[in-house]
């Protein structure tokens, strides 16, 4: 599926199928992330990683519950909605997720990241602009960047966020305010390079995940493992990549060992998982989808 935006100012009805496809790509991208195994500390169809309160079924219920939110966010972007409307839609989606999972936070970060990307795609569609990674990044920064930057200063952080920011780390909101540099400068190039090397969709997603884990200030890791845990997880990911990443001999076995190491410590890179999903969404929206 390649979604370019032909013609300036596409009328609303004509854009309906494209907006629906943008939203559907988000649900599919969440599944791309869930279906990958092993992922250090994360839930998949094979096991629940570092989690006791959720499994793949919880994630499936969550992504099913979110399936209308993403096309809605794309439509809001198409309509040029302001930040308040996007936020209200995101908060409603969070409520749906919690209702579907019995109060478990499966996709809070993914609602936010993928929701913003869908909105940016909808906005570009309305302007007749191409859906490219660089273009989406530019739209995010110019249209909603100022509101995000204000929130970064004004909104009190939740959960481990306070401690995390006390260490000068960058959470989901700060990442978005900066134009999602880890997504566009790290995750997306890693996925593209792996695909260009012919590694296949599974290895490419694993490489992308490790590339993100190597650099992201993942608040979930900091929450579960403290700053020391976050830094050790980053260092282990960097070493894995330096040794050849998914291109090294025995890569899958080594990834499985990393998974066991994370599970033993209850570490879970949930923020990195979300950015893997976001990179898969870019692949589906901007690059014709996963390789066949």
Ligand X SMILES: CC(C)(COP(=O)(O)OP(=O)(O)OC[C@H]1O[C@@H](n2cnc3c(N)ncnc32)[C@H](O[C@H]2O[C@H](COP(=O)(O)OP(=O)(O)OP(=O)(O)O)[C@@H](O)[C@H]2O)[C@@H]1O)[C@@H](O)C(=O)NCCC(=O)NCCS
Ligand Y SMILES: Nc1ncnc2[nH]cnc12
Q: Which residues form the interface with ligand X (CB under 6 A)?
A: 51, 73, 86-87, 90-91, 94, 105-112, 115-116, 157-159, 161, 170-173, 175, 216-220, 223-224, 268, 270-271, 274
Q: What's the CA gap between 9 and 26, in Å, rounded?
A: 23
Q: Please report how close the Cβ of residue 28 comes to ligand X at its closest, in angstroms.
A: 16
199: its two tokens: 């590694």
Partner from ligand Y, ligand X, none contacting 43, C-beta within 5 to 8 A by type: ligand Y
Q: Which does 32 bind (CB under 5 to 8 A by kind): ligand X, ligand Y, none?
A: none
Closest CA to 191 of 117, 73, 270, 278: 278
Q: Which is nearer to ligand Y, 179 or 270 (CB)?
A: 270
Of residues 43, 81, 162, 117, the one with CA closest to residue 275: 117
175 touches ligand Y by CB under 6 A:
no
Q: Distance between CA 97 and CA 152 in Å, rounded?
A: 24
Hey, how many other C-beta atoms are within 10 angstroms of the C-beta on 249?
8
Residue 137: exposure state from Cβ atoms within 10 A (0-12, 13-18, ≥19): buried
**Nearest to 207, CA basis, from 152, 252, 264, 270:** 252
Report how far residue 131's alpha carbon sits from residue 101's, in angstroms, rounded to the nearest whole number: 32
Task: Kindly tell me which of 180 and 273 has the beta carbon lying closer to ligand Y.
Answer: 273
Establish if 280 lies at the interface with ligand Y (CB under 6 A).
no
Interaction between residue 115 and ligand Y (CB under 6 A): no
Site string for ligand Y, 8-47 (x = CB under 6 A): -------------------------xx-------xx----
Candidates 62, 101, 207, 268; binder of ligand Y (CB under 6 A) is 268
Q: In the complex, what is the shortest distance from the CB of residue 89 to ligand X, in angstroms, rounded to a whole number?
A: 6
Residue 172 touches which of ligand Y, ligand X, none (CB < 5 to 8 A by kind)? ligand X
| Per-residue DSSP letter, 142 | I
Q: Which of 86, 68, 184, 79 is nearest to 122 (CA)?
A: 79
Q: Is 270 among the residues that bind ligand Y (CB under 6 A)?
A: yes
Minimum CB separation of residue 97 from ligand X in Å reads 8
Q: How many residues bind ligand Y (CB under 6 A)?
A: 10
- Does 172 bind ligand Y (CB under 6 A)? Our answer is no
What is the distance between the alpha carbons of residues 182 and 83, in angstroms, rounded to a whole number? 22
Name the one range near ligand Y by CB under 6 A: 133-141, 190-198, 208-216, 266-274.
266-274
Interaction partner, residue 116 (ligand X, ligand Y, none; CB < 5-8 Å by kind): ligand X
Tokens linked to 277: 């999903």
Torsions phi, psi for 35 (to 5 deg)? -75, -15
Residues that bind ligand Y (CB under 6 A): 33-34, 42-43, 49, 51, 268, 270, 273-274
């Amino acid at each position: 599926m390649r979604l370019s935006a032909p013609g300036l100012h596409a009328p609303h009805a004509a854009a309906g199928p494209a907006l629906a496809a943008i939203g559907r790509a988000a649900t599919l991208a969440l599944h791309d992330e869930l279906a990958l195994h092993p992922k250090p500390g994360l839930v998949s169809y094979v096991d629940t990683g570092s989690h006791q309160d959720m499994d793949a079924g919880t994630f499936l219920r969550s992504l099913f519950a979110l399936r209308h939110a993403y096309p809605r966010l794309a439509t809001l972007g198409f309509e040029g909605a302001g930040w308040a409307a996007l936020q209200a839609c995101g908060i409603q989606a969070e409520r749906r997720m919690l209702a579907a999972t019995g109060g478990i936070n499966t996709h809070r970060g993914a609602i936010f990241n993928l929701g913003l990307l869908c909105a940016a795609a909808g906005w570009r569609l309305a302007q007749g602009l191409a859906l490219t990674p660089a273009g989406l990044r530019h739209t995010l920064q110019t249209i909603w960047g100022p509101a995000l930057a204000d929130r970064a200063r004004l909104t009190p952080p939740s959960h481990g966020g306070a401690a995390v920011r006390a260490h000068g780390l960058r959470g989901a909101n700060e990442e978005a305010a900066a134009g999602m540099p880890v997504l566009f400068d790290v995750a997306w190039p890693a996925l593209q390079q792996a695909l260009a090397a012919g590694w296949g969709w599974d290895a490419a997603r694993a490489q992308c995940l490790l590339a993100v884990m190597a650099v992201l200030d993942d608040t979930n890791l900091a929450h579960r493992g403290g700053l020391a845990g976050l830094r050790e997880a980053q260092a282990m990911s960097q070493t894995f990549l330096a040794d050849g990443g998914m291109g090294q001999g025995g890569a899958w076995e080594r990834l499985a060992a990393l998974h066991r190491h994370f599970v033993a410590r209850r570490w879970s890179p949930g923020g990195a998982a979300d950015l893997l999903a976001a990179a898969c969404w870019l692949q589906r929206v901007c690059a014709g989808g996963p390789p066949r």
